[in-house]
Copies of this chain bind each other. A is one copy, B any other.
């Protein structure tokens, strides 16, 4: 079968690899019908994360069809159309029960040194009963782009909003106009926020953010951004800040634009060992929360809104490629030609 392998920064190839197969009796084998390229895939692409000598199998977001299941799989069966969260999780451990599937004791992450990736024709899915979610629609349903975002970006934007304590009447600022930031806007609006400020500077993304619910745009950076957000929030900053980038400067900005007593929900994978601007967070009693989103926990909540058309997170996809075109998809996202690339098989 063919799969996406990153060999070094900037070097993404489609290669023939050994066919995925069931290894454990709790596995499912999924034939991928749609996958995508994630903003976090750009970190190793840009040389910001180490890549194993033997290459890294990429991709952690997919929708597909179950091809076969192991002997111990009880709730999934061949033919099911499933969405696959970026983390696998057994659904039974203490952390899964608490809704924190990304800390599952028997869990892990797709597209890492430890587990194959989803930018491939097929994929072995561990602890399939806990990991996969069977969709009530056919694999070519028109809602597929939005349903695919349940594997990562919509759930991640929602996690940013939840951990930033968004609720009706609160002012919200979203740092970053990538796919996660845009889903953060959707999530904030969905949770009742009426005042949503997006911090970004790409005209196409900003235009989409406005359509999705952003009420104000701040294109300044650094101190200028802080000043502008304060102006827009009565001088105090935003109650809830969604950090959807992960760079040191964006985390610093996120903390600095939070209102005293406010909360920052960070979902941008951090590129620094330390959290900048600790003292402003402390002196303003700003809560810093967030982390890898337990998107599996959020599917039940978000799915009806997609099925009934109340949210359309699939709009973050502005390019569709075939598997062979995936390397160019990375280039397009890296050069900000595309917001988010969907792979159709």
Residues of A within 8 A of B (CB): 94-95, 98, 100, 102-103, 163, 236, 251, 260-261, 266, 269-270, 272-279, 281-292, 294
B274 touches A103 (CB 8 A): no
Of B95, B269, B275, B292, the contact of A275 (CB 8 Å cutoff): B275
Q: How many copies does the complex hold?
A: 2
Chain B residues in 8 Å Cβ range of A95: 260-261
Do B290 and A260 touch across chains, with their CB atoms under 8 A apart? no
Residues of B within 8 A of A284 (CB): 103, 291
- Answer whether A278 and B282 are a contact pair too, CB < 8 Å, given A95-B260, A100-B260, A287-B289: no
A255 closest partner in B (C-beta) = B275
| Interface of chain A: mostly helix, strand, loop or mixed | mixed
Q: Is the CB of A103 within 8 A of B260?
A: yes
Q: Quick one: given A103-B260, A261-B100, are A278 and B289 in contact (CB under 8 Å)?
A: no
State A52–B277 Cα separation when bound (angstroms). 24
Distance A273 CA – B248 CA, assembled complex (angstroms)? 13
CA distance A83 to B283 in the complex (A): 23
Can you name the residue of chain B whose Cβ is closest to the Cβ of A285?
B291
Residue of B nearest to A291 (CB): B285
